[in-house]
């Protein structure tokens, strides 16, 4: 994070990420909001690249910018009367409160954590992550997959007619 | 002699030439990032130039070839053999009026064609055109190309949605639905490659094939087929051009676009086609290597030869096949390809495990694996098709009955009552 | 979940409506809930115009109803007027009529098959192959009457002129090469898994529905009803030729396509016999142009490429028809469009429409 | 070898109808049989179901404006027996001609009745979807009527004679 290129990239990404995140929250048109969200995801992926976590970066694009946003797009298309200009709703202030408290939590965690850096340069992270997931963190990993399975079964049950 | 050989190497491997140039730049002094910067610029410009020129060339080739397939001549008026036709087309597209319909979402409507070429071009950054001719050998290259492809579909969706046109909307819906289905297939296809080669670098995949002197197409016949199909789906060419099915939804997501905006979609589609061809050439067809011939023939020429040969296949298919229906294509992905791909990954992992655990020699093991996988692929495809209820070809030439007297009724409902 | 149907207009300007025709689909996603058609964009009020013109002057109108099969249109009208007059054209004219009608049937069916596979999503290739033979047939028409599309060849009491000397060799050569070509088409369509997958079981019309909905031609035969006016109620010289009626069994789009393919072969068969049997002699009764048929009415019908084309003509003894009604197969075949397409997807509706093989000129008149 | 369609004479058809539905037939000629408009539905059903006539197939439906009345001609075909008969029904209401629809019996009449309604203004009662077809909603009048856009001197459409004939004045018939 010392050379000029990284600093410039960091600020450019910061502007993109925060700007489009604000856009996603403020824009009234749902599809535009999703497009902003995709831009945010891409910006976050850029941060991962800066942090030498290239696997995470690509996974971010693939899963968030690719899959999650598609899910939202589907939700919008399947919603009747997804109008271009959504009126303000009752949830405006509660949402703001929740978002702020979430921001506070994350900020607190980020500030209090003692970040350990390896000091090494760019390296392949995919195999490290893979090994970690299937050895040290195998239990959370499996729990996550069971959770996903349960969600899938539940979704199927929910949409099943009669 | 020595001097001549060096020059030959420069031509054979343009990457070396660039390397020499960079050393030369470095020797002049200047900041440390300058060579990186210069090499990046050279790479980007080269890729852009290549993509545009290839496209112009292939527009002509495609039109002539399709003309040939369709027993007609194809363009033959502009320039000798109609060679200048692509230029004329480009000029026409550039000078046409860009119409913006009244009710579109202007920002997205204008934005989508502006960025649509980007994902297709970015793919080439991780593909090795030859030895040392790779913009960046990303350590997750295999995943990268899929991730970028999915962004492409999102842009297509944005274009369709923002057009406020029902055909466009249908096209956008279809794009998204197929994106979800076929992205999965792509991931599974390339995952099997990673299992075999133990790397996700594009350069590493090519090096692996070079090292063992075998193309992955022989070891992974099923994923090649699956990936080729998924790629065809992604770039919207017949028989899978469902998102822009001309006979059904006019032009799908780009119905409302005209002029150069429409041109951008065409360019993007073409370059995405090259990208798919290049990925297949790199991952499954040995990239820029050709069993030692790359010592004598420029590697990039071999690579381009493979890319163009593969792209020719797209043109051929386009001239030959009708289009599938969306539910048929989706059903094919989920019910047919997905289980087979999962089995394929299991088998691949098992094979690699045996190979490594028993420490067998590659020369013995790989031919056996190739035969086993080919046999397994055929057996699985035929067997699973039977399980799914397709016994034999459904297209056995049936003919109409010939009746010589009027008045009879020969109606019989189809077995199974498909309706 | 409560959803609103999406109304999509296929047409009036659309690549697959084969003219200016509007298909209004109510969709739930891609599934069709309701199908309605809006026609009349090409309405030229021919039936009214015909009441203002003499019987002979009305012949050109019949070119322009079904512009893909002008010869058969001419023939049906002339047949109706001849019935009214009670005259019979000379034998050479009868056989020429058979030759022209069958050539026209091949040309029209070639278009129908080509556009049908196009509607299945092929990128023009089959259509281009079909055009190759159609072109030769149109050249023959040009030789015979000077026009390719709007032939205006038949006359009341015969045909307008005899064929030139070069006609027979060219026609014989064409008929000789047709079986090979038809085999080629069959390879393109029958052996193509995607066409089968797209058309099999789509747009099913049972024999009972088909009869009750008055559909005709390849649609009726595709539903398994052996019905062909050429055999059931022979006109011109059809009672002197041997041919079979191709009949489908399942009544789906694929069977209609099969029937058309087989009819190409049967038409070739008829042509072989007709070219062989063509007698010498006059080609026209040389009736006066100004005809006043006796009071009465007649219904002349033929098997046009699209089905039963009938002309119902009422004469009040005057110089122009009192009532001139065209029983247009294109229109009546669409009666069951809704039954055939509800429950299918948008892509299927296009295939169904393609299998009906409408010609908007005849639909709207 | 080949048999032409047997054209049933109007007398045969009328006789057959009379056998079951007495009083339905108004008139029979060698060419057609005319029935009472109000009895048309039962006659249609009878013709459709009758094993001897076997008119399962409605070939053609034509509306005609006869100046003082409207008539509709039904060309009925039996596919199994290969015979053709002509049925007619008349409506004497010149302003608002009305006839029962035969769509419940022959669905093939669906578009043909719509066409007759559009061009001649015959209202078919019981038709499920009687709208204009070729012309747009709000089109003035029904153009196939002889008196549509009444020409000067109550002239009606149609040629009066051929050019060169005595008395030819290139005007409509009166």
**C170: number of Cβ within 10 Å:** 14
Domains of chain D: 6-143 (3.30.460.80)
C245 in any annotated domain: yes
**C-alpha angle C176-C179-C185 in degrees, rounded to nearest 5:** 140
**Selected residue of A75, A76, A80, A162 to mutate for chain C interface (largest C Cβ count, 10 A):** A80
- Provide the 3-class DSSP secondary structure of residue B70: coil
Domain containing A32 equals: 4-91
C3 in any annotated domain: no
The contacts of residue B272 (CB under 8 Å, 6+ apart) are B119, B120, B123, B149, B152, B234, B235
| Chains C and B are touching, with contact defined as 3 or more CB–CB pairs separated by less than 8 Å | yes
Q: How far is A80 from chain C (nearest CA, A)?
A: 6
**Domain tally for chain A?**
1
pLDDT-derived band at D167 (thresholds 50, 70, 90) equals low
B149, B119 contact by CB (below 8 A): yes
- Provide the 3-class DSSP secondary structure of residue A79: coil
Task: Give the nearest partner residue to B147 out of A58, A69, A77, using CB atoms.
Answer: A58
B chain contacts of residue C125, beta-carbon cutoff 8 Å = 66, 69-70, 319-320
pLDDT-derived band at B286 (thresholds 50, 70, 90) equals confident
Tokens representing residue C116 in the block: 């049908």
Q: Is the pLDDT of residue B419 over 50?
A: no
A144 in any annotated domain: no
Contact check, Cβ <8 Å, D158/C225: no
Task: Give the nearest partner residue to B397 out of C30, C122, C191, using CB atoms.
Answer: C191
pLDDT digits (tens, 9 = 90+) for B46-72: 888 888 888 888 888 888 888 888 888
* pLDDT for B418: 44
Q: Is the pLDDT of residue D174 over 60?
A: no
**C126: number of Cβ within 10 Å:** 26
| Chains A and C are touching, with contact defined as 3 or more CB–CB pairs separated by less than 8 Å | yes
A126 in any annotated domain: no
CA dist., res. B163 & res. B254, Å (int): 8
C4 in any annotated domain: no
What stretches in chain C show pLDDT beneath 50? Answer: 1
C323 in any annotated domain: yes
CA dist., res. C48 & res. C365, Å (int): 10
* C3 and A CB contact within 8 Å: yes
C 206-235 → A contacts, CB under 8 A? none
A72 in any annotated domain: yes
Q: Check which CATH number belongs to the domain holding A23 and give it.
A: 1.20.120.1200
C212, D55 contact by CB (below 8 A): no
Q: How far is D71 from chain B (nearest CA, A)?
A: 30
Q: What is the ipTM of this complex?
A: 0.77
A35 in any annotated domain: yes
**D116: number of Cβ within 10 Å:** 27
A102 in any annotated domain: no
* pLDDT for A102: 93
B chain contacts of residue C212, beta-carbon cutoff 8 Å = none
Tokens representing residue C159 in the block: 């045909």
C202 in any annotated domain: yes
The contacts of residue C145 (CB under 8 Å, 6+ apart) are C151, C152, C153, C160, C161
Tokens representing residue B174 in the block: 């279809």
Helices B106-115 and A30-50: crossing angle, nearest 10°? 40
Question: What are D28's strand-pairing partners?
Answer: D33
A79 in any annotated domain: yes
Domain containing C285 equals: 44-364
C157, C89 contact by CB (below 8 A): yes
Q: Check which CATH number belongs to the domain holding C200 and give it.
A: 1.10.645.10
Tokens representing residue D155 in the block: 């002239």
The contacts of residue C111 (CB under 8 Å, 6+ apart) are C68, C127, C130, C134
C23 in any annotated domain: no
Report the share of chain B in percent with pLDDT over 70.
Answer: 91
Higher-confidence residue of B105 and C331: namely C331
Question: What are C22's strand-pairing partners?
Answer: C38
**Selected residue of C5, C7, C13, C123 to mutate for chain B interface (largest B Cβ count, 10 A):** C123
| H or E segment to which residue C299 belongs | strand C296-304
Q: How far apart are the first and last CA of chain D?
A: 49
User: Digits of tens for pLDDT over chain A (162 positions)?
Assistant: 457 777 888 888 889 899 998 888 888 777 788 888 888 988 888 888 887 777 888 888 888 877 788 778 777 776 655 555 666 677 778 888 998 999 999 999 988 887 776 666 556 677 778 888 888 888 988 999 999 999 989 888 887 765
C7 in any annotated domain: no
Contact check, Cβ <8 Å, D109/C214: yes
Q: How far is A123 from chain B (nearest CA, A)?
A: 8
C54 in any annotated domain: yes
CA dist., res. B12 & res. B20, Å (int): 14
Would you list which residues of chain B are within 8 Å, Cβ to Cβ, of chain D?
A: 406-409
**Domain tally for chain C?**
1
A58 in any annotated domain: yes
Could you tell me the CA-to-CA distances from B190 to B187, B228, D128 in Å, in that order?
Answer: 5, 11, 58
Average pLDDT of chain D? 80
CA dist., res. C347 & res. C198, Å (int): 9
CA dist., res. B187 & res. B226, Å (int): 10
Could you tell me the CA-to-CA distances from B54 to B10, B48, B124, B202, B402 in Å, in that order?
Answer: 22, 10, 14, 22, 52
* pLDDT for A105: 94
């Amino acid at each position: 994070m010392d050379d000029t290129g990284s600093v410039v990239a960091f600020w450019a990404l910061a502007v993109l990420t925060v700007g489009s995140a604000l856009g996603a929250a403020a824009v009234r048109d749902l599809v535009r909001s999703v497009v902003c969200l995709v831009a945010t995801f891409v910006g976050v992926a850029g941060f991962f690249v800066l942090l030498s976590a290239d696997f995470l970066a690509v996974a971010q694009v693939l899963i968030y910018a690719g899959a999650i946003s598609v899910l939202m797009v589907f939700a919008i298309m399947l919603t009747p009367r997804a109008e271009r200009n959504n009126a303000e709703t009752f949830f405006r202030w509660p949402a703001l409160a929740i978002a702020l408290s979430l921001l506070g939590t994350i900020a607190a965690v980020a500030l209090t954590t003692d970040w350990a850096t390896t000091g090494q340069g760019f390296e392949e992270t995919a195999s490290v992550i893979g090994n970690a997931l299937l050895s040290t963190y195998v239990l959370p990993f499996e729990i996550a997959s069971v959770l996903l399975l349960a969600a899938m079964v539940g979704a199927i049950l929910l949409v099943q007619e009669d | 002699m020595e001097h001549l050989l060096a020059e030959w190497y420069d031509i054979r491997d343009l990457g070396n030439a660039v390397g020499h140039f960079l050393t030369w730049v470095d020797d002049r002094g200047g900041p440390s990032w300058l060579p990186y910067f210069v090499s990046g610029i050279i790479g980007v410009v080269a890729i852009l130039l290549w993509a545009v020129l290839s496209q112009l060339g292939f527009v002509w080739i495609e039109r002539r070839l399709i003309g040939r397939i369709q027993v007609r001549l194809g363009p033959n008026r502009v320039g000798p053999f109609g060679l200048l036709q692509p230029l004329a087309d480009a000029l026409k597209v550039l000078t046409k009026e860009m119409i913006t319909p009244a009710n579109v979402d202007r920002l997205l409507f204008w934005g989508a064609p502006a960025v649509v070429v980007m994902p297709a071009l970015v793919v080439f950054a991780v593909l090795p055109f030859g030895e040392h001719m790779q913009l960046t050998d990303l350590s997750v290259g295999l995943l990268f190309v899929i991730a970028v492809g999915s962004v492409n579909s999102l842009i297509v969706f944005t274009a369709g949605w923002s057009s406020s046109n029902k055909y466009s909307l249908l096209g956008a819906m279809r794009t998204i639905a197929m994106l979800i289905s076929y992205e999965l297939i792509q991931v599974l296809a390339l995952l099997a490659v990673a299992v075999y080669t133990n790397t996700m670098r594009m350069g590493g995949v090519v090096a692996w094939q070079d090292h063992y002197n075998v193309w992955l197409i022989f070891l992974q016949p099923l994923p090649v087929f699956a990936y080729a199909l998924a790629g065809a789906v992604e770039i919207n060419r017949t028989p899978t051009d469902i998102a822009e099915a001309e006979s059904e939804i006019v032009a799908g997501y780009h119905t409302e676009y005209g002029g150069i905006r429409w041109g951008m979609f065409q360019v993007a589609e073409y370059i995405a086609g090259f990208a798919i061809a290049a990925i297949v050439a790199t991952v499954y067809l040995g990239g820029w290597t050709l069993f030692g011939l790359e010592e004598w023939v420029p590697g990039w020429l071999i690579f381009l030869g493979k890319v163009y040969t593969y792209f020719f296949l797209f043109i051929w298919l386009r001239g030959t096949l009708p289009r599938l229906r969306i539910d048929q294509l989706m059903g094919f992905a989920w019910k047919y390809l997905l289980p087979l791909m999962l089995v394929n990954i299991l088998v691949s992992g098992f094979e690699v495990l045996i190979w490594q655990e028993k420490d067998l020699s590659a020369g013995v093991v790989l031919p056996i694996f190739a035969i086993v996988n080919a046999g397994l692929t055929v057996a699985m495809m035929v067997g699973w098709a039977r399980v799914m209820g397709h016994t034999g070809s459904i297209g056995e030439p049936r003919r109409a009955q010939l009746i010589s007297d009027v008045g009879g009724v020969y109606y019989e409902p189809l077995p199974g009552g498909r309706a | 979940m409560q959803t609103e149907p999406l109304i999509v207009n296929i047409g009036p300007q659309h690549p697959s409506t084969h003219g200016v025709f509007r298909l209004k689909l109510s969709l739930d996603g891609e599934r069709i809930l309701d199908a309605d058609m809006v026609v009349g964009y090409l309405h030229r009020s021919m039936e009214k115009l015909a009441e203002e013109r003499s019987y002979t002057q009305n012949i050109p109108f019949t070119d322009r109803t079904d512009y893909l099969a002008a010869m058969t249109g001419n023939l049906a009208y002339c047949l109706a007027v001849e019935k009214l007059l009670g005259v019979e054209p000379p034998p050479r004219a009868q056989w020429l009529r058979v030759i022209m009608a069958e050539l026209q049937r091949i040309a029209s069916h070639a278009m129908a098959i080509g556009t049908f596979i196009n509607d299945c999503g092929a990128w023009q290739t089959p259509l281009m192959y079909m055009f190759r033979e159609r072109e030769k047939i149109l050249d023959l028409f040009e030789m015979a009457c000077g026009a390719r599309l709007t032939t205006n060849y038949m006359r009341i009491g015969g045909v307008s002129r005899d064929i030139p000397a070069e006609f027979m060799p060219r026609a014989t050569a064409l008929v000789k090469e047709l079986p090979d070509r038809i085999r080629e088409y069959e390879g393109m369509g029958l052996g193509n898994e995607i066409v089968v997958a797209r058309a099999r079981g789509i747009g099913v019309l049972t024999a009972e529905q088909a009869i009750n909905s008055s559909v005709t031609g390849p649609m009726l035969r595709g539903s398994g009803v052996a019905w062909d006016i050429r055999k059931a109620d022979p006109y011109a010289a059809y009672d002197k030729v041997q041919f079979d009626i191709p009949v489908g069994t399942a009544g789906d789009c694929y069977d209609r396509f099969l029937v058309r393919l087989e009819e190409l072969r049967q038409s070739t068969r008829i042509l072989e016999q007709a070219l062989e049997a063509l007698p010498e002699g006059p080609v026209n009764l040389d009736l006066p142009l100004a005809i006043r048929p006796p009071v009465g009415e007649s219904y002349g019908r033929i098997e046009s490429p699209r089905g039963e084309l009938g002309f119902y003509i009422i004469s009040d003894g005057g110089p122009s028809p009192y009532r001139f009604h065209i029983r247009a197969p294109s229109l009546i075949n669409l009666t069951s469009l809704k039954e055939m397409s509800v429950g299918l997807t948008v892509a299927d509706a296009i295939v169904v429409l393609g299998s009906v093989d409408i010609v908007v000129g005849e639909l709207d008149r | 070898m080949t048999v032409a369609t047997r054209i049933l004479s109007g007398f045969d058809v009328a006789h057959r109808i009379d056998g079951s539905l007495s009083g339905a037939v108004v008139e029979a000629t060698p060419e057609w049989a005319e029935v009472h408009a109000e009895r048309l539905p039962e006659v249609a059903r009878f013709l459709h179901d009758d094993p001897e006539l076997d008119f399962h197939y409605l070939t053609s439906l034509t509306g005609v404006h006869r100046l003082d009345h409207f008539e509709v001609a039904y060309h009925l075909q039996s596919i199994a027996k290969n015979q053709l008969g002509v049925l007619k029904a008349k409506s004497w209401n010149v302003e608002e001609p009305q006839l029962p629809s035969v769509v419940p019996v022959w669905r093939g009449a669906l578009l043909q009745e719509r066409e007759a309604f559009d061009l001649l203004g015959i209202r078919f009662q019981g038709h499920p979807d009687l709208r204009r077809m070729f012309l747009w909603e709000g089109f003035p009048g029904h153009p196939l009527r002889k008196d549509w856009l009444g020409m000067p001197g109550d002239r009606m459409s149609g040629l009066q004679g051929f050019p060169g004939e005595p008395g030819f004045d290139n005007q409509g018939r009166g």
